[in-house]
Chains A and B, each alone.
Chain A
Amino acid sequence: GDSVTQMEGPVTLSEEAFLTINCTYTATGYPSLFWYVQYPGEGLQLLLKATKADDKGSNKGFEATYRKETTSFHLEKGSVQVSDSAVYFCALTSNSGNTPLVFGKGTRLSVIA
Chain B
Amino acid sequence: EADIYQTPRYLVIGTGKKITLECSQTMGHDKMYWYQQDPGMELHLIHYSYGVNSTEKGDLSSESTVSRIRTEHFPLTLESARPSHTSQYLCASSEYSRGSPLHFGNGTRLTVT
For chain B, the count of residues having a C-beta within 8 Å of the partner chain is: 24
B99 and A43: CB pair below 8 A?
no
B99 and A32: CB pair below 8 A?
yes
Which residues A22-71 have CB closer than 8 A to chain B? 32, 34, 36, 38, 41-46, 49, 51
A87 and B106: CB pair below 8 A?
no
CA–CA, A103 and B104, complex, Å: 14
Q: Please, which residues of chain B bring their CB within 8 A of the CB of A49?
A: 99, 101
Q: Please, which residues of chain A bring their CB within 8 A of the CB of B105?
A: 43
A100 and B97: CB pair below 8 A?
no
What 10 new A-B contacts, CB under 8 Å, besides A43-B2, A87-B41, A105-B41? A42-B106, A43-B90, A43-B104, A43-B107, A45-B104, A51-B99, A97-B100, A103-B43, A105-B40, A108-B41
Q: Please, which residues of chain B bring their CB within 8 A of the CB of A83?
A: none
Which residues B55-106 have CB closer than 8 A to chain A? 58, 90, 92, 96-106
B41 and A46: CB pair below 8 A?
no
The digit string for A79-113, where 1 denotes a CB below 8 A from any CB of B, is 00000000101000101111011010110100000
* Residues of B participating in the A interface, judged by any CB pair closer than 8 Å: 2, 33, 40-43, 45, 48, 50, 58, 90, 92, 96-107
For chain A, the count of residues having a C-beta within 8 Å of the partner chain is: 25
Q: Please, which residues of chain B bring their CB within 8 A of the CB of A93?
A: 98-99
CA–CA, A101 and B35, complex, Å: 11
B98 and A44: CB pair below 8 A?
no
In-complex Cβ contact of A100 among B41, B58, B104 (8 A):
B58
In-complex Cβ contact of A44 among B42, B58, B97, B102 (8 A):
B102
CB distance from B40 to the nearest CB of A (A): 8
B90 and A100: CB pair below 8 A?
no
CB distance from B101 to the nearest CB of A (A): 4
